[in-house]
Amino acid sequence: MSADSTPDLLVVRGLVAGYGAAPVLQAIDLTVPAGTIAAVVGANGAGKTTLLRALSGMIRPVAGQVLLAGEDLRGTPVEQLVRRGMAHVPEGRGVISELTVDENLRLGGLWRRDRADAGRALDEVYDLFEPLARRRKHLGHQLSGGERQMLALGRALVGRPRLLLLDEPSLGLAPRVVARTMALLRQLRDRTGLTVLLVEQNVRSALAVADQGVVMSLGRVVIAAPAAKLRDDVDLRHAYLGF
């Protein structure tokens, strides 16, 4: 439990993971309370993307524990992670260019047994992302960068995740689109209780929307603090964020 007794949805303890002999992540500890947004920031190569990959089962941790709502996820196959409520929107977004917007979105709900609710979730995504509703029949490759970002996020939301792992959603997007995406995350948190772990290069935008800021350096968490504190405390900003 966190200090204000909100249950922790995600608890990471001593997570070690990487790609070969030398691990990238060096014993990561992290706690994300349910219904909050945590922004993971840090220099290029700090290990932010690797952290998301290790959480979503794309790479197998060498050591440590990942608990989702108290359940240990070690050894859980990726499709089971999705069923348990974890959705990962990777950097580069993974939209399938040859499929239409509608087909891409439906992929996000294919595994769901409750077909009626999958249909409702699809309608909700079209309500949230009006440009997607207008382009249902367009192919993935016909979309703009911002629309592809919406589509990747929308596809994850069709699965009604509890925990959304989001890698660099602002990458390559116009500031207006970034602002809209961040506002949407807040709206989802407030309306549906969604929990978000957001990796961002755009530190200011990320800390503006987040409840918690997590700064990584060289595969470690160097500080985890309320986002407002990281935003407003000049000494902390200078020490950990360099601005």
Ligand X SMILES: Nc1ncnc2c1ncn2[C@@H]1O[C@H](COP(=O)(O)OP(=O)(O)OP(=O)(O)O)[C@@H](O)[C@H]1O
Residues of this chain that interact with ligand X (CB under 6 A) are 19, 24, 42, 44-50, 201
By C-beta, is 17 or 182 nearer to ligand X?
A: 17
Report the distance separating Cα 64 and Cα 210, nearest Å: 26
User: With respect to ligand X, which residue has the nearer C-beta, 122 or 203?
Assistant: 203
Least Å distance, CB 206 to ligand X, is 12
Nearer to ligand X, 48 or 135 (CB): 48
Tokens linked to 225: 């603090």
What distance in Å separates the CA atoms of residue 100 and residue 105, rounded to the nearest whole number? 9
Give least dist CB 150 to ligand X, A: 21
Is 46 or 182 the residue whose CB approaches ligand X more closely? 46
Nearest of 182, 103, 124 to residue 149 by alpha carbon: 182
> 66 vs 188, which CB is nearer to ligand X?
66
Q: Which residue has the tokens 């014993």?
A: 27
Minimum Å distance from CB 20 to ligand X?
6
Closest contact distance (angstroms) between CB of 15 and ligand X is 13
CA-closest candidate to residue 198, choices 211, 64, 122, 190:
211
Residue 159 carries which DSSP code? T
- What's the gap between Cα 187 and its chain centre? 15
Please, what is the minimum distance in Å from the beta carbon of residue 44 to ligand X?
4
Q: Which amino acid is at 43?
A: A
Contact by Cβ (8 Å): 37, 212? yes
